[in-house]
């Protein structure tokens, strides 16, 4: 193969102009976001829509790094003194009623009282739990089959590969096919079944505010990557770019190209440009009949959630009856300096609480609160005992939030672990063996979203190994 000449050595050919225009106009992810259209051409025209009627949106908030849920939902009964404080040490949150102490969770009637509190940095989430819009799913994680401590120790049941590895567990959470190479995510497979519920599919119903992800990748549908200010639009750089130069690029893209690569590339460029224009027009304030007044935090997650609200508002213009969103917040890998009622972890939880609350309030003002469910996911929990760096190490089973009007909130679902190192729920070092699988968690959300009961196993191939298959929190 001959050496490719550097750009300054090349003649200003049509191919060169197309290439330079593409690089300036759209990032690689912007172009990749359009490729799902080509795959949709060869897909079966009539996908199984299950119960996909009306508008619904699912919002995944991924907590990258492994959130320490041992300091998120904490017993307020005798376990606090007997189990929690001795292992947590300097990380321990003060008891309810003390300065900077836990916020007692008080379920709404007729739900029974529960002996649990939430981290003091989460007053918004505490209120939403107490008014019935927020549920907690306890000790959920990646599994290939139900697992006991005895089975874990004698290796009699297969385990998900690369436990306690950030990258692997992040992907396994998003695929829900833990022992296979990542090809599609369960959000993508869900969209493959339900995209025909939309009146238009010019822009993918799977929209990411946090870049490329496995979760939203399907066989037909991929994620469409959007920034916190909107879709990436055509913007040619140079000393004096103007309408004529922009139009010249569009004209070249629209030409018939004899070269197969040029033709395919031009088609994708044209689709990407059109999609970006469509989406940006749809989220323009002047196109909205109503608007929310809820202030969002100006953090990275806050800006993502604000854009998600704008995209929900734009759903009728985009022709979306179904939308799946992916947002994220990082920084949870706190091996040192974690803190308790203040510090790095407290700051992250405060941001999460404010952002989830802001999006919920926006959905109320937009009139779609009964059609939107937010849920959290994370690599894994962290070890129960504090480490020498005044932080915590990689764990396994974790607690997650589910928020929205359709949620049967004010309750804990799943099984809270026994807080004993080398106890019945521990691998050996304070890493809780999950008692609920990612499959059960996801299947409950997918069933609400419109996937039929009979199609749940096509989204979650290993779901039949677990009982019950769905958990009833929504």
- Give the pLDDT confidence of 200-212 residue by residue, as tens digits: 999 999 999 999 9
Structural domain including 311 reads 43-230+283-465
Predicted local confidence at residue 32, as pLDDT: 43
Predicted local confidence at residue 35, as pLDDT: 39
Rounded Cα gap, residues 44 and 223, in angstroms? 19
The DSSP output letter for 454 is G
Number of Cβ within 10 Å of residue 120's Cβ equals 22
Q: CA dist 425 to 37, 73, 92, 136, 146, Å?
A: 46, 17, 20, 19, 12
Predicted local confidence at residue 17, as pLDDT: 42
Rounded Cα gap, residues 74 and 390, in angstroms? 19
Rounded Cα gap, residues 175 and 442, in angstroms? 10
Rounded Cα gap, residues 22 and 37, in angstroms? 18
Rounded Cα gap, residues 431 and 392, in angstroms? 11
Number of Cβ within 10 Å of residue 323's Cβ equals 24
Write down the pTM of the prediction: 0.88
User: Is residue 48 included in any domain, yes or no?
Assistant: yes
User: The domain that contains 409 carries what CATH number?
Assistant: 3.40.720
User: Is residue 12 included in any domain, yes or no?
Assistant: no
Rounded Cα gap, residues 132 and 408, in angstroms? 7
Rounded Cα gap, residues 376 and 355, in angstroms? 12
Q: Is residue 134 predicted with pLDDT exceeding 70?
A: yes
Average pLDDT taken over every residue of the chain: 87
Q: How many domains does the chain have?
A: 1
User: Is residue 274 included in any domain, yes or no?
Assistant: no
Q: Is residue 48 predicted with pLDDT exceeding 90?
A: no
Segment 171-198 shows an average pLDDT of: 97
Confidence of residue 273 (pLDDT cuts 50, 70, 90): confident
Predicted local confidence at residue 264, as pLDDT: 55
User: Is residue 27 included in any domain, yes or no?
Assistant: no
**Residue carrying structure tokens 């599609």:** 184
User: Is residue 254 included in any domain, yes or no?
Assistant: no
Rounded Cα gap, residues 209 and 325, in angstroms? 7
User: Is residue 77 included in any domain, yes or no?
Assistant: yes
Predicted local confidence at residue 285, as pLDDT: 74
Q: Is 472 within 8 Å of 413 (Cβ atoms)?
A: yes
User: Is residue 6 included in any domain, yes or no?
Assistant: no
pLDDT tens string 51-65: 577 999 999 999 999
Rounded Cα gap, residues 199 and 211, in angstroms? 26
Percent of the chain clearing pLDDT 90 (strictly above): 77
Tell which residue, 94, 139, 138, has the closest CA to residue 120: 94
């Amino acid at each position: 193969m001959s050496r490719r000449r550097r750009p300054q050595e090349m003649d200003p050919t049509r191919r060169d102009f197309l290439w330079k225009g593409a690089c300036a106009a759209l990032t690689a992810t912007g172009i990749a976001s359009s490729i799902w259209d080509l795959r949709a051409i060869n897909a079966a025209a009539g996908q199984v829509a299950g119960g996909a009627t009306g508008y619904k949106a699912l919002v995944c908030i991924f907590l990258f790094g492994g959130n320490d849920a041992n300091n998120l939902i904490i017993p307020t009964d005798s376990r606090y003194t007997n189990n929690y404080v001795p292992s947590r040490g300097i990380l321990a949150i003060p008891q309810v009623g003390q300065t900077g102490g836990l916020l007692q969770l008080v379920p709404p009637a007729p739900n029974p009282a529960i002996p649990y509190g939430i981290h003091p940095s989460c007053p918004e989430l505490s209120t939403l739990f107490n008014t019935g819009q927020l549920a907690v799913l306890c000790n959920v994680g990646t599994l290939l089959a139900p697992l006991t401590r005895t089975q874990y120790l004698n290796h009699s049941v297969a385990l998900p590969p690369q436990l306690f590895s950030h990258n692997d567990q992040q992907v396994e959470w998003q695929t829900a096919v833990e022992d296979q190479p990542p090809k599609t995510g369960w959000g993508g497979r869900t969209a493959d079944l339900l995209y025909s519920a939309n009146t238009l599919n010019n822009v993918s119903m799977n929209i990411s505010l946090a870049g490329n992800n496995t979760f939203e990748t399907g066989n037909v549908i991929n994620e469409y990557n959007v920034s916190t200010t909107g879709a990436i639009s055509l913007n040619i750089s140079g000393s004096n770019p103007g309408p004529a130069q922009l139009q010249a690029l569009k004209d070249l893209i629209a030409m018939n190209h004899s070269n197969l690569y040029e033709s395919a590339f031009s088609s994708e460029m044209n689709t990407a440009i059109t999609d970006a224009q469509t989406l940006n027009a749809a989220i323009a304030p002047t196109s909205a009949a109503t608007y929310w007044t809820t202030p969002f935090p100006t953090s990275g997650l806050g800006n993502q959630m604000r854009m998600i609200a704008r995209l929900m508002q734009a759903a009728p213009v985009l022709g979306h009856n179904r939308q799946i969103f992916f947002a994220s917040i990082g920084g949870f890998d706190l091996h040192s300096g974690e803190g308790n009622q203040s510090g790095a972890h407290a700051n992250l939880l405060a941001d999460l609480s404010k952002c989830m609350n802001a999006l919920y309030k926006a959905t109320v003002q937009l009139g779609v609160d009964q059609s939107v469910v937010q849920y959290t996911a994370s690599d894994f929990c962290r070890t129960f005992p504090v480490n020498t760096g005044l932080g915590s190490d990689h764990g396994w089973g974790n607690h997650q939030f589910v928020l929205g009007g359709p949620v049967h909130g004010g309750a804990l679902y799943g099984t809270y672990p026994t807080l004993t190192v080398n106890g019945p729920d521990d691998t050996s070092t304070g890493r809780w063996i999950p008692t609920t699988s990612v499959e059960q968690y996801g299947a409950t959300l997918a069933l609400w979203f419109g996937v039929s009961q009979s199609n749940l196993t096509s989204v979650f191939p290993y779901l039949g190994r677990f009982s019950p298959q769905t958990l009833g929190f929504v």
